[in-house]
Structure 1
Amino acid sequence: MSPLDDDTDDIETEVQVPQTEARLEVALTADDAGERLDKILAARFESLSRARLQALIADGRLSLDGRALTDGSQKARPGLYQLQIPEPIAAEPSPEDIPLSILYEDAHLIVVDKPPGMAAHPAPGNYTGTLVHALLHHCRGSLSGVGGVARPGIVHRLDKETSGVMVAAKTDAAHQGLSALFSTHDIDRLYIALTRGAPHPDRATIQTQLGRSPHDRKKMAILKSGGREAITHYRVEDVFGPADKPLAARVACRLETGRTHQIRVHLASRSTPCLGDPVYGASQPAAAVKVLIESLGFSRQALHAAVLGFVHPITGETLRFETPLPADMAGLEAGLKAL
């Protein structure tokens, strides 16, 4: 099992480098109508994989008679289809001089406090400005290559819009050792979430099977069968608003496993998603909370990886790192307390 499949992070794909011209065109006829669009176009655009084609369509780069299409699963219709191909991206990320908040560093690993808005590694939509780019500059050649050229040193990930503590490996031995710890869940991971309402009871364990949603492949979902076991222990630390009907809450979530989007899905399953979550926060928060969020310009899921603890894979030293809420979440919490 790869530790990169065992973490709370964005559903991301490897960087794919198009090796083709800037624009492709194909005219479909009435005989083609009714076929699934991405399937028939993949057969026509032989230079592109179907996965690459689907990503380009989702990114709005396909048009039919000049009108943009974003759903590759729809049925094909007659007309002229044009596919815009972005400029090729370097297969290997280049170092970028991006400031890092470093909590710990030695010859084997580095621990940082990742800000919200920074992706962990290059992926479609995030080809620059990632943690990998910053680490390549800071570490200057001493970053483990086990993770591959697109994500050297990365052992686990956080969502792009989730802030908090991350560890990266500078040597292959450290990478393998940290990977083993994540695979066996021998990692102390505590997250702080600000939620819509408050989960009930105020302390519990959520244990489910988690996998990709059968309805939306970009989302994760609780499954009745299949998927992978996901366990989150949560505790309500504070509630905001009326005690009998809280408007919001501060919830500490300790991970026993770490599946993709685990905390976000589990909290949403209790009808208490992270405030600001654009994917799993289906309905609006209370009016006062909504006004507060809009006034602060808070536009991400309110989730922070506050604690990361582990045994150093090389020295055997017990390490534990804890960071406070970043300014945007701290401001949101202060506003909630004033409600």
Structure 2
Amino acid sequence: MSVAMLTVSEDEAEIRLDRWFRRHYPQLTQGMVQKLCRTGQIRVDGKRVDAGTRLAPGQSVRVPPIPASTKPRHDAPRPLDERLAREIRKMVIYSDPQLIVLNKPSGLATQGGPGITQHVDMMLDGLREGDDPRPRLVHRIDKDTSGLLLLARTPGVAARLAAAFRGRDVRKTYWAVVVGRPDPLSGEIDQPLARLGAGPGSITVAADRRDEDAQMARTEYEVLDSAGRKFSWLGLSPLTGRTHQLRVHCESLGTPILGDPKYGAEKAHVDGFTERLHLHARSLVLPHPAGGWLEVSAELPPHMRETFRALGFTAGSVPVPRRR
């Protein structure tokens, strides 16, 4: 065993050092990487670094002797039921050499957890092409929320897209059907939130700004149409990314999202309408990793199309994905 010097590739721009090591040496644990950094055995361009350092193309990474049991292994496809492969391929609404965009159905979780037996992450090998790396989730949306979900084809692209989300360079628009009509008809909700509990039973609540657990949360909203004062179709643009932010913010307006199983209590459930969350990730505008911007929109799920028809809302045609 000997020291190796590896060069960061263009595709690995902005990737964290610990993730870079997990990519090249997937059996190294997070603790091992942190210890090797702490003792100076891992260096970048000859300098000491920590595990969270983000890499740039052309940098040289010093790799200390790695035990034989942790040598790089081939990223082989995981066995996947053909039915699941067909399901996830049907969700694809845009694809290019850098990324994939899905229209996720309501009721399908993005990732696994207690009691979750099927989720998008377990299905990603169905989108793999030949020996290419397994696509990676860039962000998440709630299990009950339908709509746009962004995947990266490589770790480097994933890092750049994640940085765009962190830097608020991605413009996200959600559509929701809410019970009632907000007053005023448009504005910004500036309501801090806090998370209570952990795991599946945890909830997000409106919080006082003075609470030490309060997190800033802001959402722009606009009434796009309404059925009297009973129901409204809202356009929602989250300016921050808190768990269940849109659902709690709509509730804080006094207009909970129709069919919300967690927020809004009895007011969110109306006879004659399906008991499913009426929240849809409608559009994304984001900087494309290969340059320019990508604009993509997702068709409404069946239960929301049915509700739109019942209330007389007209969504119009879905714009074709566009690079500019």
Normalising by the residue count of structure 1, what TM-score does the alignment of the two structures yield?
0.62
Q: Could you say which residue in structure 2 is the equivalent of 1:267?
A: 250
Q: Could you say which residue in structure 2 is the equivalent of 1:122?
A: 112
Confirm or deny: 8 A CA contact 2:259 2:277 kept in the other structure.
yes
Between the aligned partners of 2:132 and 2:216, the Cα distance in structure 1 is 35
Q: Could you say which residue in structure 1 is the equivalent of 2:204?
A: 220
Percent sequence identity over aligned pairs: 32
Aligned partner of 2:272: which letter? L
Confirm or deny: 8 A CA contact 1:163 1:304 kept in the other structure.
yes
* Structure 1 SS opposite 2:271: helix
Q: Could you say which residue in structure 1 is the equivalent of 2:218?
A: 231
Q: Could you say which residue in structure 2 is the equivalent of 1:310?
A: 286
Q: Could you say which residue in structure 2 is the equivalent of 1:97?
A: 85
Q: Point out where structure 1 has 5 or more consecutive residues left out of the alignment.
A: 1-91, 145-151
Between the aligned partners of 1:300 and 1:318, the Cα distance in structure 2 is 33
Q: Point out where structure 2 has 5 or more consecutive residues left out of the alignment.
A: 1-76, 314-324
**Cα distance change of structure 1 residues 94 and 207 upon mapping to structure 2, 3 Å threshold:** farther
Q: Could you say which residue in structure 2 is the equivalent of 1:177?
A: 160
Confirm or deny: 8 A CA contact 2:191 2:216 kept in the other structure.
yes
Confirm or deny: 8 A CA contact 1:194 1:251 kept in the other structure.
yes
Aligned partner of 1:112: which letter? L
**Cα distance change of structure 1 residues 125 and 324 upon mapping to structure 2, 3 Å threshold:** same
Between the aligned partners of 1:93 and 1:264, the Cα distance in structure 2 is 35
Confirm or deny: 8 A CA contact 1:120 1:131 kept in the other structure.
yes
Aligned partner of 1:134: which letter? M
1:320 aligned onto 2:295: yes
**Cα distance change of structure 1 residues 94 and 158 upon mapping to structure 2, 3 Å threshold:** farther
Confirm or deny: 8 A CA contact 1:292 1:335 kept in the other structure.
no
Confirm or deny: 8 A CA contact 1:264 1:280 kept in the other structure.
yes
Confirm or deny: 8 A CA contact 2:173 2:237 kept in the other structure.
yes
Confirm or deny: 8 A CA contact 2:256 2:267 kept in the other structure.
no
1:186 aligned onto 2:169: yes
**Cα distance change of structure 1 residues 247 and 133 upon mapping to structure 2, 3 Å threshold:** same
Between the aligned partners of 1:329 and 1:171, the Cα distance in structure 2 is 33
Between the aligned partners of 1:93 and 1:159, the Cα distance in structure 2 is 25
**Cα distance change of structure 1 residues 170 and 337 upon mapping to structure 2, 3 Å threshold:** same
Confirm or deny: 8 A CA contact 1:136 1:143 kept in the other structure.
no
Q: Could you say which residue in structure 2 is the equivalent of 1:164?
A: 147
Between the aligned partners of 1:184 and 1:322, the Cα distance in structure 2 is 21
Instruction: List aligned pairs for 1:98-113, cutoff 5 A.
Output: 98-99=86-87, 100-113=90-103
Confirm or deny: 8 A CA contact 2:258 2:270 kept in the other structure.
no
Between the aligned partners of 2:167 and 2:105, the Cα distance in structure 1 is 27
Deviations 1:270-293 (A, max 9, x none): 1101000010021235xxx82321
Aligned partner of 1:330: which letter? R
Confirm or deny: 8 A CA contact 1:94 1:133 kept in the other structure.
no
Work out the number of aligned pairs and report it.
227
Aligned partner of 1:232: which letter? T
Between 1 and 2, higher relative CO (CA 8 Å, sep ≥ 6) is seen in 1
Q: Could you say which residue in structure 2 is the equivalent of 1:133?
A: 122
Shift of the alpha carbon at 1:326?
Answer: 1.7
Aligned partner of 2:114: which letter? P
CA RMSD of aligned residues (A): 2.3
Confirm or deny: 8 A CA contact 1:98 1:134 kept in the other structure.
no
Between the aligned partners of 1:321 and 1:139, the Cα distance in structure 2 is 21
Normalising by the residue count of structure 2, what TM-score does the alignment of the two structures yield?
0.65
Aligned partner of 2:113: which letter? A
Aligned partner of 1:173: which letter? G
